[in-house]
Amino acid sequence: MPKLGVNVDHVATLRQARRGSLPSPAWAAREAQAAGASSIVCHLREDRRHIQDSDLATIRLAVRLPLNLEMAAHPEIVRIACRLKPEQATLVPERRRELTTEGGLNLRQGGRRLSDAVRRLSDAGIRVSLFIDPSFDSVRRSADLGVPMVELHTGRYAEVAAGAARRRELEKLKEVVRLGRKEGLIVAAGHGLDYTNTRPVAAIPEMEELNIGFSIVVRAIEVGFRRAVKEMVRLAR
Ligand code: PXP
């Protein structure tokens, strides 16, 4: 059974809507820890649209779980990561206008910046993972870069209609995971996984870790909204 990394970015998204202090990603990290998560994931984006620099320290203090910092191979963010020393850094592509991480890293063009980031983070004692599309080519290129771990982008698997197309994407994931293990890589997966599509990915024998954020925050609202309204109705009477 893979471990679950809980991504708390979208708790911060909600907080940033009012630029206040609630809801707190550090509180969410503590809740995730209490609920059995194996690690906490957050993405310090260059545009700081959700997680802020100060969140990194408060999340660090709030939990004893390993921190997996998602980040672009940008020199400023690499500097911050080397100072913070999360247990893991997952390098992801970042486009300013995207709503979320739309695809895996482009390892054909990642070039110098990517290999520099891998080297600097590794030298700081941080385990480096690359967020890649689930393709044989991406796995081989990741192994060539010398990283110990990859995370496969499950966006396409999650997006296609359930049925034959989804099963095809799942088979592709399985084959790519197998190749990753053969290449000596630890293999994780994430993006778009929810309460309806996670099980088959979790059942892939060699899968080490799943990283999930958005669907958990949505579910938290769905299961808690009625209670929250009831409490306010009582106060408003
Ligand atoms: N893994 C990586 C590398 C990601 O960039 C994201 C999205 O921030 C996730 C996992 C989680 O995706 P979701 O929020 O769709 O569960």
Rounded distance between C-alpha atoms, residue 201 and residue 205, angstroms = 9
Q: Can you give the residue ranges of every domain in the chain?
A: 3-236
**73-112 confidence digits (pLDDT tens):** 999 999 999 999 999 999 999 877 777 777 899 888 768 8
CA nearest ligand 1 atom 6, residue: 191
Does ligand 1 have an atom closer than 6 angstroms to the CB of 79?
no
Expressed in angstroms and rounded, the spacing between residue 233 Cα and the centre of ligand 1 is: 35
Per DSSP, what are the bridge partners of residue 5?
Answer: 39, 211
Expressed in angstroms and rounded, the spacing between residue 211 Cα and the centre of ligand 1 is: 6
Expressed in angstroms and rounded, the spacing between residue 210 Cα and the centre of ligand 1 is: 9
In the prediction, which pLDDT does 5 show? 99
Does ligand 1 have an atom closer than 6 angstroms to the CB of 190?
yes
CATH class label, 3-236: alpha beta
In the prediction, which pLDDT does 8 show? 98
Active site positions, annotated: 43, 70, 191
Prediction pTM value: 0.96
Buried b (16+ CB within 10 A) or exposed e, 27-57: bbbbbbbeeebbbbbbbbbeeeebbbeebbe
Expressed in angstroms and rounded, the spacing between residue 119 Cα and the centre of ligand 1 is: 23
Does ligand 1 have an atom closer than 6 angstroms to the CB of 195?
no
In the prediction, which pLDDT does 109 show? 73
Rounded distance between C-alpha atoms, residue 69 and residue 71, angstroms = 6
In the predicted model, residues of the chain with pLDDT beneath 50 are: none
- CA neighbor of 166 nearest in space, from 141, 129, 199, 131: 199
Does ligand 1 have an atom closer than 6 angstroms to the CB of 50?
no
